[in-house]
Amino acid sequence: MPRRHALELFLKQVQMFRHLSAAERQRAAAACRERSFDRGEAIFHEGHPSDSVWLVREGRVHLLHYLTGGRVQTTCVMAPGESFCCLPALDRGSYPATAVAATPAKVIQLPTSVFHELMQGSPAMAQETLCTFCTRLRQVEAKGCLAHDPVDRRIAQALLTLQKKFGETIPMTRQEIADLVGTTVETAIRTISRFQKEGRVRSTRGKLALLQPDALKQLLS
Amino acid sequence: MPRRHALELFLKQVQMFRHLSAAERQRAAAACRERSFDRGEAIFHEGHPSDSVWLVREGRVHLLHYLTGGRVQTTCVMAPGESFCCLPALDRGSYPATAVAATPAKVIQLPTSVFHELMQGSPAMAQETLCTFCTRLRQVEAKGCLAHDPVDRRIAQALLTLQKKFGETIPMTRQEIADLVGTTVETAIRTISRFQKEGRVRSTRGKLALLQPDALKQLLS
DNA sequence: ACAGGGGTATGATCTGGATCATACTGTGGA
DNA sequence: TCCACAGTATGATCCAGATCATACCCCTGT
């Protein structure tokens, strides 16, 4: 079954699963369910009970909170190969955020029960999971201490981070960047336009390339 | 040795260690080193390598980041019985924040190596550690999505959280509260004075009591 | 007893960025 | 082909909160 095989290859590229044995990976793949979501569609909602761990197969998924006044605060942007919201799988709590497909997306859903079995059977996977977790905590912590910096610095920081994730070209709109750094579209547009005038970035509709990363880094001083 | 015995009793009250057997707790107590710090003194610094897990025995300890311009961003306030900065013990990275004694404080230092031994030997402790961790991640996440709310809401939220930690009276100055919510002393003073006029809180020098928690909660709407 | 400093208080002013308004442009769908 | 809409752009105005200045109060150490 080639589809199954492709899935196993995919799992091999996911950090948390990369040290599973072939048999374990087969076991995981057998329990996976692949689902498709349209752009803008919610995958799950903050506060709802969780019974699955999720992986991005294709497209882009955002973790976000709806704020009072209809505003959106995006806390995390996930690219293919990344897992998201393992936290409720570990503490059996509810989803800490809402997940939305930011583009048409294929995601993989692995039941928490199977996730636990795998982790019990594989110390390496438990270790990787813990590691993923630690990384996430450090990220959130780092982002938190930029929260009250001026907007241009927050945007510069976000772009540098996104570049690490997406490479040369960042496939996001100003609105999405605004939601990510906690500002308005207008301000995001003005700031990024300024960056462009200063030769730091180049942008086309829905895309954004960093010309000289160092030129952004110097904003972070 | 009564001192040793007191220490074991203390460990029993720390969430992470509460399920250790008497023998394991003895082992832990034997490896602990107690240290005293003056108010304002640093316990460790962000970015430095870590070889210990820390517990607050007496006093109050703040985790914080120094920002550009000499500002301080406090990310966490720890009361007696709480552990802090276990993260580097798990991922063997460096300290993610600086710890400062906010009052004269006694803290307990447990070598990472012993911490790992204990965790290896006690699944219950491993579970508790993970749990502490998850809680921390949820807290940080929750705080993050309030970051761009108006100051009065951030302060109200902080006071409610602090009340859970300290009970009726919160032993903190306006400056400390300002650093915690990411604002200036002046704004913190004005806001809290307003709360007082509105009958929501009562304050004396360095202390602050919530009169009607519900009156603050309604600010969070 | 007194001096000095940290904590609290309050006014005046300034500004980054939100808000409101309007318009242009590229893209996808009928 | 053209319409509708999402994304981008830009100006005008407004305001929460930072910044600057000054003062008072209470505690601690000498």
| CB-CB under 8 Å, B73 with A148 | yes
Same domain, A34 and A130: yes
Q: Which of A160, A152, A165 is nearest to A219 (CA)?
A: A152
Structural domain that includes position A190: 151-218
**Pick from B73, B148, B183: CB nearest A145:** B73
Is the CB of B144 inside 8 Å of chain A's CB atoms? yes
Q: For residue A60, what pLDDT is reported?
A: 97
Q: How many CA atoms lie within 13 A of B177 on its CB side?
A: 30
Q: What is the pLDDT of residue A2?
A: 63
Same domain? For B186 and B203 the reply is: yes
Q: What is the 3-state secondary structure (H, E, C) of B192-209?
A: HHHHHHCCCEEEECCEEE
| pTM of the model as a whole | 0.94
Question: Once rounded to an integer, what is the mean pLDDT over residues B127-150?
Answer: 93
Pair B69, B155 in one domain = no
Give chain A's domain count: 2
Residues in A 4-43 with any Cβ partner in B closer than 8 A: none
Give yes or no for a contact between A81 and A14, defined as CB atoms under 8 angstroms apart.
yes
Q: What strand order describes the sheet that includes A33-37?
A: A33-37, A105-111, A52-58, A83-84
* CA→C1' distance for A205 and D5 (Å): 15
Per-residue pLDDT, A1: 55
Tokens of A45: 């909602």
Residues B181, B138 share a domain:
no
**pLDDT at B16 (0 to 100):** 95
Distance of CA A3 to the CA centre of its chain: 25
Encoding tokens for residue A217? 């880094």
Last residue of a domain, one of A105, A121, A145: A145
pLDDT less than 50: residues of chain A: none
The verdict on A177 and A73 lying in the same domain is no
Q: Of the candidates A145, A179, A206, which is a domain's last residue?
A: A145
The one-letter amino acid at B167: G
Domain identity same for B104 and B158: no
- Least confident segment among B66-75, B150-159, B189-198: B66-75
Q: Which one has a higher pLDDT value, A68 or B157?
A: B157
Residue A20: strand, helix, or coil: coil
Same domain? B74 vs B116: yes
Euclidean distance between CA atoms B170 and B65, whole angstroms: 22
Q: Which of B96, B128, B145 is the last residue of a domain?
A: B145
Residue B2 has a pLDDT of: 63
Could you tell me the two tokens for B116? 């790992």
Interface check for B92 against chain A (CB to CB < 8 A): the answer is: no
Closest C-alpha among A38, A37, A82 to residue A56: A82
Chain B residue nearest residue A144, CA to CA = B144
A47 touches chain B (CB under 8 A): no
Secondary-structure breakdown of chain B: helix, strand, coil percentages, each rounded to the nearest 5: 50, 25, 25
CB proximity B206–strand D (7 Å threshold): no
Region B68-84: mean pLDDT is: 94
| pLDDT at site A171 | 97
Structure tokens at A52: 């699955």
Look up tokens 């970051």; give the residue: B147
User: Which residues of B fall within a CB distance of 8 Å from A76?
Assistant: none
Task: Please give the mean pLDDT across all residues of chain B.
Answer: 94
Nearest-nucleotide field for A187 (CA, C1'): C17
Q: How far apart are CA A98 and CA A109, in angstroms?
A: 15
Q: Which residues pair with B101 in a beta bridge?
A: B61
Alpha helices (H) along B102-184: 112-121, 123-146, 151-166, 174-181
Same domain? A67 vs A25: yes
Name the residue with the least CA to C1' distance from nucleotide C20: A186
Query: How far is residue A65 from each of residues A3, A73, A108, measured CA to CA in Å?
Result: 34, 5, 22
Does the pLDDT at position B1 exceed 70? Answer: no
Position B88 scores a pLDDT of 95
Residue B143 φ/ψ, nearest 5 degrees? -65, -40
Q: Is the dihedral of CA A148, A154, A157, A162 positive or negative?
A: positive
A179 and A139 in a common domain: no
DSSP string, B102-117: SSSEEEEEEEHHHHHH
A28 shares its domain with A136: yes
B143 contact A CB<8A: yes
Residue B217, pLDDT score = 85
CATH number, domain of A93, equals 2.60.120.10
Q: Which residues touch strand C (CB under 7 A)?
A: A 69, 150-152, 182-184, 186-187, 205; B 148, 173-175, 185-186, 189-190, 192-193, 196, 203, 205-206
Does the beta carbon of B3 lie under 8 angstroms from any beta carbon of chain A?
no
The alpha carbon dihedral of A18, A22, A28, A33 has a sign of positive
Q: Are residues A133 and A212 in the same domain?
A: no
For position A177, which CATH number holds?
Answer: 1.10.10.10
The type of residue at A176 is E
Specify whether A126 is located in the same domain as A104. Answer: yes
- Over 60: is that where the pLDDT of B129 sits? yes
The residue-averaged pLDDT of B155-172 equals 95
pLDDT band at B91 (very low <50, low <70, confident <90, very high): very high
Q: Considering all nucleic acid strands, name the nucleotide whose C1' atom is nearest to the C-alpha of residue A175.
A: D7
Average pLDDT over residues B127-138: 92
User: D30 C1' – B145 CA distance, angstroms?
Assistant: 49
Q: What is the mean pLDDT of residues B19-37?
A: 95
3-state SS, residue A110: strand
Residue B46, judged by CB atoms within 10 A of its CB (0-12, 13-18, 19+), counts as middle
Q: Which nucleotide lies at the shortest CA–C1' distance from B205?
A: C7
